[in-house]
Amino acid sequence: MEIKNHLKTYVIIALLSSGITLGAYSLLNLGSSHTIGDAPSAFTSSVSNIQNVPGNPGEFTFAAEKTTPAVVHIKTKMTARQSRQSSSPFDDFFGFGDPFGGRRQQAPQTQEASGSGVIISSDGYIVTNNHVVQEAEEVSVILNDKREFKAKVISTDPSSDLAVIQIKAENLPFLTFGDSDALRVGEWVLAVGNPFNLESTVTAGIVSAKGRQNIIDRDGDTNPLESFIQTDAAVNPGNSGGALVNLKGELIGINTAIYSRTGQFAGYSFAVPVSIVKKVSSDLIKYGNVQRGFLGVSISEVNAKLAEEKDLKSKDGVYVGGFSENSAAKDAGIKINDVITKIDGTDTKSSSKLMEIVGRKRPGESILVTVNRDGQTKEFKVTLKNKDGNTSIVKGDVGESTKSDFLGAKFGTISSADKEKFKVSNGVKVIEVLADGRLEMYGLSKGSIITKINDKAVSDPKEAVQLLEARKGRIKLEGVDVDGSRFIYVL
């Protein structure tokens, strides 16, 4: 059961651009010649000489000097289109008008925005926020030493608001992953990023809370992965995707959102904990999408009212109120009215903590769930399932594309996150719109989904291109634009 948080009304995601201009744009699709295992990275390296780190409250120079070289400035370009009606008198005569939407033409305008990112491997993998790059047609990365590179978006995960991009570079400085579980309320932390296009900015604060949830409205996402670290370190637009580090200079979070009535910092900021960052970024690099394990339970936090109403013998934990179809928890023997008190020995006093722990696991992995049932402690070994109710690992075809010369576009496969976001069961994703092509003329944007070609459902990019090449006469396209609106075009 979702618990509403009144803070949510005032949270402004740091998607706000630090600058918007008009100009030309182009999309560069960079290849990848390395994997995360080929070079030193946050996944395999540790901080050396930890015993020599000052770490005294108020002593920030060590962490600042260690962190700033590995935090990058990200600039993006995207096209916004303004609708206008065609003046051609032949449109309706030849059937280009409604209901097929052929009259809609849009004048493209290029917008620029900026954010931050954190290098996690010496060969150029960078973690940032999904909202920094999700609609970008061109991504540039400026390093601390002022070198600039074009970047490739490896993959994104809207549910956690994380993304991985990569630049072609070697021997880069990178941050190692710390332990966000060990982070304590009141501990000093630094936020490093590029607010307002001010590069390499460091601010300090303390951890003011952990496990915050229901912070960001994710456009109908039914399974957001939220367990934010709340700090009072100053974060502003442009800090999105930047580093939250401890005084050892270890990455303990990715700065994502601020609490504000005005869009500027008002005392609180929120970061995705590194326990989630590590899992999500590893999956995006290895599989092309996030492999998320599910318990398959409806949950709510235990409070005095619920404990009295359900006659619960435990006043701490997460209440099991129901099960999904093919529930892993139900199959393992967990029952309604059980109170989950621990997972793998870690206390689960909040729903967000439970979701965070489970969110680190993949389908097929097992966890030990401790429950309080009528005052007795019981343990269950639960093998997690995916959303389809099985334990399969599903790979994405990230980076692969098929070009359609007829439409002037490149297609890729759609992810499970795309299916959730656009509420479709099939389709191909437009991952590039080529200049002067038919799709650009009709105003379809990068990121839109084509679900049908000539009334035939499509799911494979190669199949979509084959249908276009085998066309006889007009082509009818159906799908969903990036803003969620449905379209039907006849070309």
Q: What is the CATH number of the domain that holds 378?
A: 2.30.42.10
> What pLDDT does 377 receive?
95
Is residue 210 domain-resident? yes
Residues 135, 95 within the same domain: yes
Strands 297-301, 104-119: pairing kind: unpaired
pLDDT band at 395 (very low <50, low <70, confident <90, very high): low
Q: Does 240 count as an annotated binding residue?
A: yes
Residues 356, 483 within the same domain: no
pLDDT band at 178 (very low <50, low <70, confident <90, very high): very high
Active site residues: 131, 161, 240
Is residue 72 domain-resident? yes
Residues paired with residue 255 on neighbouring β-strands, in sequence order: 271
Q: Which of 319, 348, 383 is the last residue of a domain?
A: 383
Residues paired with residue 409 on neighbouring β-strands, in sequence order: 404, 433
> What pLDDT does 41 receive?
86
Residues near 345 by Cβ (< 8 Å), separated by ≥ 6? Answer: 368, 370
Mean pLDDT of 278-302: 92
User: CA 430 → CA 82, 400, 460, 481, distances in Å?
Assistant: 19, 12, 12, 10
pLDDT band at 401 (very low <50, low <70, confident <90, very high): low
Among the residue ranges 191-200, 228-237, 313-322, the one predicted with the least confidence is 191-200
Written as six digits, the tokens of 323 are: 């099960």
Is residue 196 domain-resident? yes
Residues 68, 205 within the same domain: yes
Residues paired with residue 270 on neighbouring β-strands, in sequence order: 230, 257
Residues 70, 42 within the same domain: yes
> What pLDDT does 391 receive?
87
Q: 475 by DSSP, 3-state: which?
A: coil
Residues 306, 264 within the same domain: no
Residues 53, 171 within the same domain: yes
Q: Does 223 count as an annotated binding residue?
A: no
Residues 455, 373 within the same domain: no
Considering only residues 49 and 379, tell me which one the structure prediction assigns the higher pLDDT.
379
> What pLDDT does 212 receive?
84
> What pLDDT does 102 receive?
44
> pLDDT digits over 187-214, tens only?
999 999 999 888 889 999 999 999 887 6
Considering only residues 219 and 395, tell me which one the structure prediction assigns the higher pLDDT.
395
DSSP 353-390: HHHHHHHT--TT-EEEEEEEETTEEEEEEEE-B-TTSS
Tell me what percent of the residues of the chain surpass a pLDDT of 70.
79
> pLDDT digits over 143-153, tens only?
999 999 999 99
Is residue 2 domain-resident? no
Residues 118, 34 within the same domain: yes
Q: Total domain count for the chain?
A: 3
Give kind and range of the element (H or E) at residue 319. strand 318-323
Mean pLDDT of 265-281: 92
Mean pLDDT of 431-441: 81
pLDDT at 46 over 90: no
Query: For position 240, which CATH number holds?
Result: 2.40.10.120
Is residue 248 domain-resident? yes
> What pLDDT does 390 receive?
87
Give kind and range of the element (H or E) at residue 467. helix 461-469
Considering only residues 230 and 315, tell me which one the structure prediction assigns the higher pLDDT.
230
> What pLDDT does 441 receive?
81
Report the candidate in 129, 307, 300, 143 with the shortest Cα–Cα distance to residue 228. 129
Give kind and range of the element (H or E) at residue 461. helix 461-469
Is residue 48 domain-resident? yes
Residues 197, 92 within the same domain: yes
Mean pLDDT of 161-183: 95
Q: Does 238 count as an annotated binding residue?
A: yes
Mean pLDDT of 210-220: 69
pLDDT at 93 over 80: no
Strands 104-119, 268-273: pairing kind: unpaired
| DSSP state letter for 325 | T
Domain hosting 419: range is 402-490
pLDDT band at 57 (very low <50, low <70, confident <90, very high): low
> What pLDDT does 196 receive?
86
Q: What does the CA dihedral 299, 304, 309, 315 come to, rounded to 10 degrees?
A: 60
Residue 75 exposed, middle or buried by CB count within 10 Å (0-12, 13-18, 19+): buried
Is residue 396 domain-resident? no
Is residue 394 domain-resident? no
Distance CA 294, CA 282 (A): 18
Residues 325, 376 within the same domain: yes
Q: Which of 249, 284, 319 is the last residue of a domain?
A: 284
Mean pLDDT of 113-141: 93
Q: 62 by DSSP, 3-state: which?
A: helix
Contacts 24+ apart (CB under 8 A), 298-307: 298/1, 298/322, 298/323, 298/324, 299/1, 299/340, 299/351, 299/354, 300/1, 300/3, 300/351, 301/3, 301/349, 301/350, 301/351, 302/339
Residues 123, 225 within the same domain: yes
Q: Which of 252, 284, 316 is the last residue of a domain?
A: 284
Mean pLDDT of 438-461: 87
Residues 35, 163 within the same domain: yes
pLDDT at 53 over 70: no
Considering only residues 86 and 237, tell me which one the structure prediction assigns the higher pLDDT.
237
